[in-house]
């Protein structure tokens, strides 16, 4: 009997602790907006949501418009002509190429960025500031100038085009992954790792069971950034890839340079927007998970 | 006296010691980069003695055809009609869609600059005019190969559209693919009595303010329109020498710019702005903002009307004083690794079957480059039996009194004149 009572009180205490909130916490009276401020907040949120959603409305409409002529406000005939044309133009293959390329770029640039960020944030490297500047230089250089010159070097070195594309895109992605991981490491307490090692865990076990789970949300975010770099690139894929890698942006750009392809361009554009959105949704969900929680 | 050990690191100069190797590497890299720009290559390509040589070499090759990807019908023709025919000859044809033909040329130039002379990524390019000339000046094309193609027998060797590409002699450096005719297009619902001359079109534009415009030079179609008007205001194409000279330009261009200057206030948005590309012009026409437009690619009109982009009442104007004509070609970069395969594709594209299929408005509607008089009666009949487009007249109607293109040097001169005289108005 007594045992159960203690466990009940324990549960209650834990529940109370979860319910207890500090005055500045979200949803407490101190942070609650009222009246005009509240209206303004809701209104601005709605406007921003509209601002992001609006471009998708014509895109979605065009995707299913077999015929849509001025001045009709809505498509006159709907169907799947756009989808058929997009597939006939090689959209399916390009989608797969884009997916593989972006995943490879993310898989390489994320750990590199994480390592660079950890070294930089722990002050392990000399000339940290200059190295930071170097790391960020791909973002600051105009890509066209850099890529054309770089491509001559890659061709001279007989680097296969697909490998060249990955190399250059990784270089472009690393500043983003490093930057996002630096923020994560600034907030990361090395004490977790130290405690695990003190308790006898090997460095590999510490990495897999303690370190990686704790920085997983940040890793996911920076992997997403690297994915988007590969996913949206046109110039590097075209110039360095030399036609070996026909990705979605290449198909979209060539398709959009003509007249009368609106519905297929819309289908292609939507298919280019949806995968990053799905990834973003997955990351937003995983951020709510507490990586340190014991199951 | 202590002798300083040169290998010993001085603590105070550690930083310098670390920077020096980095500097040396950077200097070497810079040296290597500057060496790249030296022309070390002398591209030629393989030698073939006869067609069977080419066929043997081509077997199993994969040809990458770089072409503008903005025309769904053209893409579908290459993928569904030309590629299977090439496959039957043992050559795999893959299309690389690009937004601008210059991208293909840039790739070739970069490869040549890097000394990659035998394994280029571009095997075949759909080109004409400016891009051909640029490549020829850079010695980037494989040349003297079209004479080997069996199907060149049906191509007239005296047709000026095929022996010169915008004034640049073709000289066996590109194989013809199809012809195009500059065309004025109008909406028969809003223009019941269309004009019949270029001057008439300009007068019509002044009588109907805001219903006509043309793309801003240097757009391809926009500068073609400048040449049309140049011919018109100077009394026809015979009055304008094909070869460019400053004297000819100074004598003939003022009439053109004076005419366009008086026209400007009657244009769409009072000529304060011009569509930047022919695609934008087509959109204006499709949206009913203007009643007349122009195109150098009338082949696409039939499909654009059929899929509802353009109104059903779209018609091509046949102009009495004739319009400019040109031809599209296939070029093979000299550093392609699949030159034989590219030649097989270019030859196949010139076959009667391929030219007939491509000329069908339901497939692509591109005008043939074959000399119909040189064909057998049965082959000729294939062309005669092609369905007529309700929008685009047949080539012999459209190309009546066709005007020759001016040499490519005229183009930038006229474009510059337009920019300073008309755009800066």
Position A110 scores a pLDDT of 96
CA atoms within 13 A on the CB side of B352: 17
Nearest beta carbon to residue A246 from set B33, B96, B115: B96
Q: Which of residues 213-232 of B touch A (CB under 8 A)?
A: none
Q: What is the mean pLDDT of the segment spanning B86-106?
A: 94
Most B-contacting residue of A74, A239, A254, A262 (CB-CB within 10 A), to test interface = A254
The tens digit of pLDDT for each residue in B354-390 reads: 999 999 988 999 999 999 999 999 999 999 999 888 8
Give the pLDDT score at B33. Answer: 45
Q: Inform me whether the pLDDT recorded for B170 exceeds 70.
A: yes
For residue A19, the model assigns a pLDDT of 61
| pLDDT value of position B15 | 37
Q: Would the CB atoms of A67 and B286 count as touching at under 8 Å?
A: no
Q: Are strands B124-127 and B62-68 parallel, antiparallel or unpaired?
A: parallel
Whether residue A60 has pLDDT greater than 90: no
Token couple for B412 = 């930038």
The C-alpha atoms of residue B173 and residue B140 are separated, in whole angstroms, by 10
Mean pLDDT score, A150-170? 93
d(CA B276, CA B256): 20
Answer yes or no: do A260 and B303 touch at CB < 8 A: yes
Contacts of A67 in chain B (CB under 8 A): 307-308
pLDDT at A16: 62
pLDDT of residue B5: 40
pLDDT-derived band at B4 (thresholds 50, 70, 90) equals very low
> 377-416 in B: which are within 8 Å (CB) of A?
none
Tell whether A58 lies on the interface with B, counting CB pairs under 8 A.
no
Candidate from B95, B106, B287 with C-beta closest to A70: B287
Residue of A nearest to B284 (CA): A70
Mean pLDDT value of segment A94-99 = 94
Q: What does each C-alpha distance from A67 to A60, A82, B291, B389 come to in angstroms?
A: 14, 10, 20, 20
Alpha-carbon span A188 to B328, nearest angstrom: 63
- What pLDDT does residue B353 have? 96
Nearest to A67 among B71, B107, B308 (CB): B308
pLDDT at B43: 52
How far is the C-alpha of A52 from the C-alpha of B45, rounded, in Å? 53
Residue B317 β-bridge partners: B184
Please state which of the ranges B5-14, B265-274, B391-400 shows the lowest mean pLDDT: B5-14
Q: Is the pLDDT of residue A288 over 70?
A: no
- Return the residue matching tokens 């601002």: A51
Mark yes or no for CB contact A254/B70 under 8 Å.
Answer: yes
With cut-offs at 50, 70 and 90, classify the pLDDT of residue A138. confident
Inter-chain CB proximity A256 and B100 less than 8 Å:
no
A268 touches chain B (CB under 8 A): no
Q: Closest by alpha carbon to B232, among B203, B209, B207?
A: B203
Check CB contact under 8 Å for B115 and A156: yes
Q: Which of B417, B414, B189 is nearest to B324 (CA)?
A: B414
Interatomic CA distance for residues B336 and B43, integer angstroms: 10
B354 with B346: CB under 8 angstroms?
no
Per-residue pLDDT, B200: 95
pLDDT at B330: 97
Question: pLDDT for B140-153, tens place per residue?
Answer: 999 999 999 999 99
What pLDDT, on a 0 to 100 scale, did the predictor assign at position A33?
Answer: 66
Q: Which residues of A touch B110 (CB under 8 A)?
A: 148, 151-152, 155, 239
Exposure class string for A236-249: b at 16+ Cβ within 10 A, else e: bbbbbbbbbbbbbb
Q: Average pLDDT for residues B242-271, to the nearest whole number?
A: 94
Q: Nearest-CA residue of chain B relative to A161?
A: B121
Specify the pLDDT at position A23.
58
Report the pLDDT value the prediction gives residue A61, as an integer from 0 to 100.
85
**For residue B223, with 0-12 CB atoms within 10 Å meaning exposed, 13-18 middle and 19 or more buried, which class applies?**
buried
Pairwise CB contact (< 8 Å): A155 & B107: no
pLDDT of residue A32: 66
Give the pLDDT score at B41: 45
Asked if residue A224 has pLDDT above 90, the reply is: yes
* Pairs across A and B, CB distance < 8 A: 122
> Does the pLDDT value for residue B333 go beyond 60?
yes
The two tokens of residue B54 are 């080419």
Which residue of chain A comes nearest to B282, CA vs CA? Answer: A259
Three-state secondary structure string covering chain B: CCCCCCCCCCHHHHHHHHHHHHHHHHHHHHHHHHHHCCCCCCCCCCCCCCHHHHHHHHCCCEEEEEEECCCHHHHHHHHHHHHHHHHCCCCEEEEEEECCHHHHHHHHHHHHHCCCCCCECCCEEEECCHHHHHHHHCCCECCCCHHHCHHHHHCCCCCHHHHEECCEECCCCEEEEEEEECEEEEECCCCCCCCCCHHHHHHHHHHCCCCECCCCCCCHHHHHHHHHHHHHHCCCHHHCCCCCCHHHHHHHHHHHHHHHHHHHHHCHHHHCCCCCCHHHHHHHHHCCCCCEEEECCHHHHHHHHHCCCCCCCEEEECCCCCCEEEEEEEECECCECCHHHHHHHHHHHCCHHHHHHHHCCCCCCCECCCCHHHCCHHHHHHHHCCCCCCCCCCHHHHCCCCECCCCCCHHHHHHHHHHHHHHCC
pLDDT value of position A27: 61
**Looking at residues A58-62, what average pLDDT do you find?**
85
Q: Kindly state the average pLDDT of the residues B228-252.
A: 93
* Nearest Cβ partner for B97 among A71, A151, A251: A251
A134 and chain B in contact, CB less than 8 A: no
CA distance B113 to chain A (A): 7
Nearest CB neighbour to A253, from listed B18, B75, B99: B99
Q: Which pLDDT belongs to residue A222? A: 94
Q: How far apart are CA B197 and CA B182, in angstroms?
A: 14
Put simply, whether B286 touches A (Cβ < 8 Å) is yes
The residue with greater pLDDT, A80 or B349, is B349
Residues of A in contact with B96 (CB under 8 A): 243, 246
- Asked whether the beta carbons of residue B307 and residue A258 sit closer than 8 angstroms, the reply is no
Mean pLDDT in chain A?
83
- Kindly tell me if the per-residue pLDDT of B331 is higher than 90: yes
Predicted confidence at residue B196, as pLDDT, reads 93
Facing residue for A264 by CB, picked from B33, B72, B310 = B72
* Contact call for B106 and A239, based on CB within 8 A: yes
- For the stretch B49-94, pLDDT in tens is 899 999 999 999 999 999 999 888 899 999 999 999 999 999 999 9
Q: Give the pLDDT score at B220.
A: 87
What would the DSSP string read from start to end of B182-234? Answer: -EEEEETTT-SS--SSHHHHHHHHHHSTTSB--PPTTSHHHHHHHHHHHHHHT
């Amino acid at each position: 009997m007594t045992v159960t009572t203690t466990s009940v009180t324990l549960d209650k205490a834990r529940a109370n602790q979860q319910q207890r909130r500090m005055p500045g916490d979200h949803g407490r009276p101190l942070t609650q907006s009222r009246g005009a401020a509240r209206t303004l907040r809701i209104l601005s949120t709605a406007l921003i949501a509209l601002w992001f959603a609006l471009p998708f409305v014509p895109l979605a409409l065009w995707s299913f418009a077999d015929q849509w002529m001025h001045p009709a406000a809505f498509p006159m005939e709907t169907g799947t002509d756009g989808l058929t044309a997009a597939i006939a133009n090689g959209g399916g293959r390009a989608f797969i190429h884009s997916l593989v390329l972006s995943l490879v770029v993310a898989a390489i640039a994320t750990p590199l960025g994480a390592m660079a960020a950890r070294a930089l944030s722990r002050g392990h490297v000399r000339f940290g500031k200059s190295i930071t500047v170097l790391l960020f230089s791909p973002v600051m250089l105009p890509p066209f100038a850099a890529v054309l010159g770089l491509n001559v070097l890659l061709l001279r070195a007989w680097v296969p085009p697909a490998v060249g594309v990955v190399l250059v895109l990784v270089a472009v992605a690393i500043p983003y992954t490093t930057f996002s991981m630096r923020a994560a490491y600034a907030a990361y307490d090395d004490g977790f790792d130290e405690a695990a090692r003190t308790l006898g865990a090997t460095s590999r076990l510490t990495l897999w069971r303690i370190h990686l789970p704790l920085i997983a949300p940040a890793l996911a975010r920076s992997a997403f950034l690297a994915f988007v770099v590969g996913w949206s690139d046109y110039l590097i894929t075209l110039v360095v890839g030399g036609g070996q890698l026909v990705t979605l942006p290449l198909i979209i750009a060539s398709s959009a340079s003509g007249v009368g392809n609106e519905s297929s361009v819309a289908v292609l554009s939507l298919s280019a927007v949806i995968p990053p959105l799905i990834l973003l949704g997955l990351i937003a969900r995983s951020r709510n998970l507490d990586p340190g929680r014991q199951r | 006296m202590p002798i300083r050990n040169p290998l010993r690191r001085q603590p105070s100069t550690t930083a310098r010691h670390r920077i020096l190797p980095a500097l040396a590497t950077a200097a070497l890299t810079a040296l290597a980069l500057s060496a790249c720009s030296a022309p070390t290559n002398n591209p030629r390509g393989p030698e073939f003695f006869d067609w069977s040589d080419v066929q043997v070499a081509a077997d199993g090759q994969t040809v990458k055809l770089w072409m503008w990807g903005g025309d769904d019908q053209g893409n579908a023709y290459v993928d569904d009609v030309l590629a299977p025919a090439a496959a039957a000859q043992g050559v795999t044809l893959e299309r690389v869609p690009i937004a601008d033909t210059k991208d293909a040329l840039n790739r070739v130039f970069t490869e040549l600059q890097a000394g990659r002379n035998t394994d280029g990524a571009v095997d075949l390019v759909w080109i004409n005019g400016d891009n051909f000339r640029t490549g020829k000046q850079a010695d980037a094309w494989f040349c003297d190969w079209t004479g080997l193609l069996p199907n060149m027998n049906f191509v007239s060797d005296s047709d000026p559209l095929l022996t010169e590409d915008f004034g640049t002699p073709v000289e066996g450096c590109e194989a013809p693919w199809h012809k195009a005719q500059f065309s004025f297009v109008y909406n028969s619902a809003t223009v019941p009595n269309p004009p019949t001359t270029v001057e008439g079109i300009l007068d019509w534009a002044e009588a109907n303010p805001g219903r006509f415009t043309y793309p801003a030079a240097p757009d391809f179609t926009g500068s073609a329109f400048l040449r049309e008007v140049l011919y018109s205001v100077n009394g026809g194409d015979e009055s304008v020498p094909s070869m460019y000279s400053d004297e000819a330009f100074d004598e003939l261009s003022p009439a053109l710019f004076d005419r366009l200057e008086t026209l400007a206030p009657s244009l769409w948005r009072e000529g304060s702005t011009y569509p930047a590309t022919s695609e934008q012009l087509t959109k204006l026409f499709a949206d009913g903002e203007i009643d007349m437009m122009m195109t150098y690619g009338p082949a696409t009109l039939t499909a654009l009307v059929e899929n509802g982009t353009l109104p059903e009442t779209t018609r091509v104007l046949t102009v009495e004083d004739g319009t400019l004509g040109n031809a599209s070609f296939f070029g093979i970069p000299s550093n392609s690794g699949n030159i034989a395969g590219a030649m097989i594709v270019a030859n196949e594209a010139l076959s009667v079957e391929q030219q007939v299929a491509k000329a069908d408005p339901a497939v692509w509607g591109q005008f043939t480059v074959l000399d119909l008089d040189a064909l057998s009666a049965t082959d000729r009949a294939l062309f005669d039996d092609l369905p007529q487009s309700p929008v685009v007249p047949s080539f012999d109607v459209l190309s009546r009194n066709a005007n020759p293109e001016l040499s490519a040097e005229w183009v930038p001169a006229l474009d510059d004149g337009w920019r300073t005289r008309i755009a800066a108005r």
